[in-house]
């Protein structure tokens, strides 16, 4: 996350600090971004060094030219200003100034810079000569000198200390703002996650209760019972799968759940998973194609692997177009198992693809109105793949559908990205 001084501290507040500082000390001051571009107003540009503050009208007597950039001079100073330590600066004219970085979580989000100061009244003729040597008009050199503050060296040191204190106070204020923003974001995500889980649990519960009520109201008519009970049973199995997924994600996150590895024939795992989603397929009216070209076995936890397939198939069934096509394919070779589940649904936008496997990312997607996952199933799938030393990834194009791939290596050395 890129932090910004502008976003963490109101510019109006920075302007107040700048004007108050100048009123009390008589020294020009400016707040800049990490690259030295001014955030607050620069009333007298010539009061600042062009190497410290990049703004129209600022010049630097260290440079041999003032109208073109000179990387051999500018870049070393820029590199200094990317550090988190205050940078004192002295140029050919004898000016003193300091840029104190504002550091939040180890990242410089801006600088507090005070303007040119001299320990004695400037000699106009000397600065006219320096200006000419630097490729400037003589009058400009004199103007630069006239815009500098004059104060004893000890006071310059105290002003520099004040600048550093101000930078630290602003860093604290910015961090407090950042922390408050993150707390609010987490609370919003928590509420979205709770709403998402409740919504997903309510759907199968509604099917179960509706089916059983229909059977009861028909006074247990056999034909109606034969129709309704399988639908209620399918919904109950889906509900149990959701609850188990929630519990297992918690176990995996805490390290309390490890795969129970065995030699697995994936073709058998696939048959069990397909049988489990038959009711859902019938409900949505989709066609499922399978292409299981496996030879040999793979070392895996058969129950966790089955549930990965069930979750991916359930996702595809719910998001495929009406009367859509879903394809389950798998290949086993000497290095391991690769399985894929494809659908012809709406697809997932690129901005959502990076977070569909994240527990809170899915809640965020729904909060923004993108409903591309069915809860925490994809989070579970990713954790199972990683627990086997493998990985999961996604290919998707909006309007064309999505394909989820899972790789389980034959050995348990990690292939995870």
Among 33-42, 285-294, 343-352, 367-376, name the one with the lowest average pLDDT: 367-376
Residue 352 — pLDDT band, cuts 50, 70, 90? confident
pLDDT at res. 372: 42
Residue 321 near residue 353 (C-beta atoms within 8 A): no
Residue 69, pLDDT > 50, answer yes
Q: What is the CATH number of domain 262-409?
A: 3.30.565.10
Residue 159's pLDDT band (cuts 50, 70, 90): very high
Find the range with the poorest average confidence among 99-103, 241-245, 261-265, 342-346: 241-245
Question: Cα(312)–Cα(380) distance, rounded to whole angstroms?
Answer: 10
pLDDT at 53 over 60: yes
pLDDT band at residue 368, thresholds of 50, 70 and 90? very low
Which stretch of 50-54, 113-117, 299-303 has the lowest confidence by average pLDDT? 50-54
Q: Is 36 left (phi over 0), alpha (psi -120 to 50) or beta?
A: left
pLDDT higher than 80, residue 11: yes
Q: Which of 34-38, 146-150, 293-297, 316-320: highest mean pLDDT?
A: 146-150
Q: Indicate the range of 3-7, 199-203, 358-362, 412-416 predicted with least confidence.
A: 412-416
CATH for the 184-254 domain, from 1.10.287.130, 3.40.630.10, 1.10.760.10, 1.10.150.120: 1.10.287.130
* pLDDT score of 416: 45
Q: Is the pLDDT of residue 374 over 70?
A: no
What mean pLDDT is reported for the chain? 84
Looking at residue 321, the DSSP 8-state letter turns out to be P
Residue ranges of domains in the chain: 5-182, 184-254, 262-409
178 or 279, which is more confident: 178
What confidence category does residue 186 fall into, taking pLDDT thresholds of 50, 70 and 90? confident
The b-or-e profile of 119-132 (16+ CB within 10 A means b, else e) is eeebeeeebbebbe
Strand partners, 29: 114
Report whether pLDDT(293) > 60.
yes
Task: Count other Cβ atoms within 10 Å, centred on residue 161.
Answer: 13
Which CATH number is associated with domain 5-182?
A: 3.30.450.40
CA distance 197 to 374: 9
Residues 6+ apart with CB under 8 A from 191: none
**Beta carbons within 10 angstroms of residue 363's beta carbon:** 24
| pLDDT for 342 beyond 90 | yes
Model pTM greater than 0.85? no
Stretch 18-44: mean pLDDT = 91
Compare 1 and 23 and report the one with higher pLDDT: 23
């Amino acid at each position: 996350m890129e932090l910004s001084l502008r976003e963490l501290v109101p510019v109006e507040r920075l302007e107040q600090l700048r004007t108050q500082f100048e009123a009390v000390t008589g020294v020009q001051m400016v707040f800049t971004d990490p690259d030295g571009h001014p955030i607050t107003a620069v009333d007298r540009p010539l009061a600042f060094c062009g190497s410290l503050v990049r703004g129209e009208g600022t010049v630097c007597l260290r440079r041999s030219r003032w109208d073109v950039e000179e990387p051999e001079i500018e870049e070393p100073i820029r590199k200094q200003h990317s550090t988190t330590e205050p940078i004192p600066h002295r140029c050919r004219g004898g000016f003193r100034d300091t840029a104190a970085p504002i550091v939040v979580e180890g990242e410089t989000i801006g600088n507090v810079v005070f303007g040119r100061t001299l320990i004695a009244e400037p000699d106009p003729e000397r600065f006219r000569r320096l200006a000419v040597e630097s490729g400037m008009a003589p009058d400009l050199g004199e103007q630069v000198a006239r815009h500098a503050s004059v104060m004893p060296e000890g006071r310059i040191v105290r002003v520099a200390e004040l600048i550093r204190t101000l930078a630290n106070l602003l860093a604290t204020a910015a961090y407090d703002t950042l922390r408050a923003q993150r707390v609010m974001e987490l609370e919003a995500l928590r509420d979205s996650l709770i709403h998402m889980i409740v919504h997903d649990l309510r759907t199968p519960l509604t099917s179960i209760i509706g089916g059983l009520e229909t059977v009861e109201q028909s006074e247990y008519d056999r034909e109606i019972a034969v129709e309704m009970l399988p639908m209620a049973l399918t919904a109950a199995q889906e509900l149990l799968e959701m609850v188990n997924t929630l519990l297992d994600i918690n176990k995996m996150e805490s390290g309390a759940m490890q795969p129970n590895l065995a030699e697995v024939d994936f073709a058998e795992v696939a048959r069990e998973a397909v049988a489990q989603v038959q009711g859902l397929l019938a409900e949505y009216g989709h066609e499922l194609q399978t292409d299981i070209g496996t030879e040999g076995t793979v070392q895996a936890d058969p129950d966790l692997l089955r549930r990965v397939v069930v979750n991916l198939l359930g996702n595809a069934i719910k998001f495929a177009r009406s009367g859509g096509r879903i394809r389950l394919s798998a290949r086993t070779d000497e290095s391991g198992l690769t399985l894929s589940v494809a659908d012809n649904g709406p697809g997932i936008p690129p901005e959502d693809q990076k977070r569909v496997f994240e527990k809170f990312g899915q809640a965020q997607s729904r909060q923004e109105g993108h409903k591309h996952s069915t809860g925490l199933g994809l989070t579970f799938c990713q954790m199972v793949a990683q627990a086997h030393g493998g990985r999961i990834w996604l290919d998707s194009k909006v309007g064309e559908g999505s394909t989820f791939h899972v790789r389980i290596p034959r050995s348990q050395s990690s292939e995870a990205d």
